[in-house]
Structure 1
Amino acid sequence: MESLMKNNWQLTILQYFWMTIAVLISSVAVIIFLAPFDIAPSGVSGAAVILHRLIETPIGLVTFLLNIPIQILAYFLLPGSWRVVVRTLYVLVVYSITLDWLAIYIPDKGVSDNVLLNAIFGGVLEGVAGGIIFRAGGTFGGTSTLALILRHKFGMPMSTTLLYTDALVMAGAGFTFGWEAAMFAVVSLFISGVASDYVLEGPSVIRTAVIITNQPELVSTTILHHLGRGVTGWEAIGMYTHQPRWVLYVSISRSQVGELRRLVMKADPKAFMVIGQGHTAYGEGFKQSEILPVP
């Protein structure tokens, strides 16, 4: 029991460490790359950037204040959400302080005068920060928490809520900064989503193959012997011919696709094979554990 509690504390400390790193990365993205060029990030942070331009309010403080009612709603409306709320409040406090601290000590001219470059790099950093914080079991709150509430209470898909809120922020950016700035914000938002998925799921280095064959033993033995990959098979019926077939499933690395195709065609020239794209595989022969474990 004592060892288990120690491991839980170590895991919690590790998660908060990575959440802090994510906050620092996101703060740099907003203060150095996005806000100086009127590129509004998504969600509540984007609204804070717009208000900063209109009435010169601190971005960090406004981000925190706008999140408070959302977190109160989450505490009362989402079952078992107190742990998520506590983590989100920690992130928001550190995020708000870091944003306003960086705004004081870092020049507001940015690194480059090229707006597109700033939109790209700002989006990459925002996406990396989002991916890290999700893997650590945290969240930046804001519209993500609001989407969870609406899904729980009304069954509204999270993607729909996020689409509407992001569209609202982008429209506000268009009216405030001009529509060219809003278009750069959309570019940054898209890149942020791609970068976040990359951090969450890893590079697409895994391929999966489904093979339909009349020679299951020969094909599976050939794959196991030459590629060192395990094969799972089950019996099926061809719905056109109504003849029995075997379906084989195997996961391989991207570099093994050509060799797999050659081996299968050699073992059974009449085999039908579909190769699909995966992201990450866990288990024997692949990754054994995640970098940022979440309980």
Structure 2
Amino acid sequence: MLWLQTQKIIIVVAGAFLNALGMNLFLIPANIYSSGVAGIAQLLSKVLSDHTPIHVSMGLLLLLLNIPVAILGWMKVGRSFTVYSFLSVALSSLFLELIPVKQVSHDILLNAVFGGVIVAAGVGITLKWGASTGGLDIIAMVLSRLKDKPIGPYMFVLNSIIIVTAGFLYGAEKALYTLVFLYTSTRVVDAIHTRHAKLTAFIITKKADEMKKAIHAKLVRGITMIQGKGAFTNESREIMMIVITRYELFDLERIIKDVDPKAFTNIIQTTGVYGFFRRE
């Protein structure tokens, strides 16, 4: 368990570093705006510097804006997830202060694409290991749980506000290249992690009772037990069906690996859930 937590912290540190690297070397020098709370912090820092005598660094604003979000996440999403997510935010803020802002390329399109790839790589590996980079991820999760709807529309609306504001203040071209960044980063995150909000896992194992206890100890999810038989061996097997959110995938994978490494698991997209689905 200690080694697993150490690995997770290492991944969170690496993700935060990549996030800050993409911002300071590609997005900030080109005035291309990130998504989520990072984009809000970047835009607010730019507006304050350009239109007032006040200068507040993006790293500090990112940390301050995420404090109320972390409190909300602690209350509504989950403590472990929120702790690692806020650690990611704090480290990103630190790296944003330590890494110098330097323009690697004068081509704005290259900045949008490479910035998107690097930032998304940091976000993707963080999500894959059961945390997030904070901000709108947590807000969208809370909003989606209120009505049990996909988080995509909420993320789209919140990011659209950033894009429209950037276009209004600094020209349509900046807004369009921000869209290029968003498209690139979204595709990379999808490739590393998964874009599906809910997933269904079918687990075929000889250790169904142990698996059930381990899952219930970690995840607050119902499990449906199905009797199965191998077509080739004619051996009886228990098939466990469980619906989870994408943020719980990391924990489920670790449970299966610990209890029965030989279990056959099929993870599929869930387009909709009707009936009771626990949201806490």
TM-score range, shorter chain: 0.5 to 0.7
The one of 33, 36, 49 equivalent to 1:40 is 33
Q: Residues 101-136 of structure 1, C-alpha deviation per residue, up to 9 Å, x if partnerless?
A: 21xxx244x101000000000001111111110111
Identity across the alignment (%): 27
**CA–CA distance in structure 1, aligned partners of residues 169 and 131 of structure 2:** 31
**CA–CA distance in structure 2, aligned partners of residues 21 and 48 of structure 1:** 21
Kindly name which structure, 1 or 2, has the bigger radius of gyration based on alpha carbons.
Answer: 1
On the 8 A contact 2:12/2:87 being kept in 1, the answer is no
**CA–CA distance in structure 1, aligned partners of residues 122 and 28 of structure 2:** 17
On the 8 A contact 1:64/1:93 being kept in 2, the answer is yes
On the 8 A contact 2:76/2:142 being kept in 1, the answer is yes
> Which residue is 2:138 aligned to?
145
On the 8 A contact 1:16/1:136 being kept in 2, the answer is no
On the 8 A contact 1:22/1:130 being kept in 2, the answer is yes
**CA–CA distance in structure 1, aligned partners of residues 47 and 115 of structure 2:** 21
After superposition, the CA RMSD in angstroms is 2.3
Q: CA deviation at 1:40?
A: 0.4
Q: TM-score, normalised by structure 1?
A: 0.62
On the 8 A contact 1:123/1:192 being kept in 2, the answer is yes
Q: TM-score, normalised by structure 2?
A: 0.66
Q: CA deviation at 1:84?
A: 1.1
**CA–CA distance in structure 2, aligned partners of residues 232 and 161 of structure 1:** 45
Q: CA deviation at 1:232?
A: 7.7
**CA–CA distance in structure 2, aligned partners of residues 107 and 192 of structure 1:** 20
- 1:191 maps onto 2:184 in alignment: yes
The one of 19, 24, 29 equivalent to 2:22 is 29
> Which residue is 2:225 aligned to?
none
Give structure 1 regions of 4+ aligned residues with deviation exceeding 6 angstroms: none
Q: CA deviation at 1:164?
A: 0.6
> Which residue is 1:213 aligned to?
none
Q: For 2:193, what is the secondary structure of its paired residue?
A: helix
**CA–CA distance in structure 1, aligned partners of residues 140 and 21 of structure 2:** 26
The one of 102, 108, 111 equivalent to 1:115 is 108
Stretches of structure 1 lacking an aligned partner (at least 5 in a row): 1-7, 202-230, 234-282, 288-295
Cα 1:107–1:69, aligned 2, differ >3 Å: closer, same or farther? closer
1:225-236 superposed matches below 5 A: none
> Which residue is 1:65 aligned to?
64
> Which residue is 1:165 aligned to?
158
> Which residue is 1:182 aligned to?
175
Q: Residues 213-234 of structure 1, C-alpha deviation per residue, up to 9 Å, x if partnerless?
A: xxxxxxxxxxxxxxxxxx989x
Aligned residues: 196
> Which residue is 1:95 aligned to?
92
Stretches of structure 2 lacking an aligned partner (at least 5 in a row): 50-55, 195-229, 233-260, 266-280
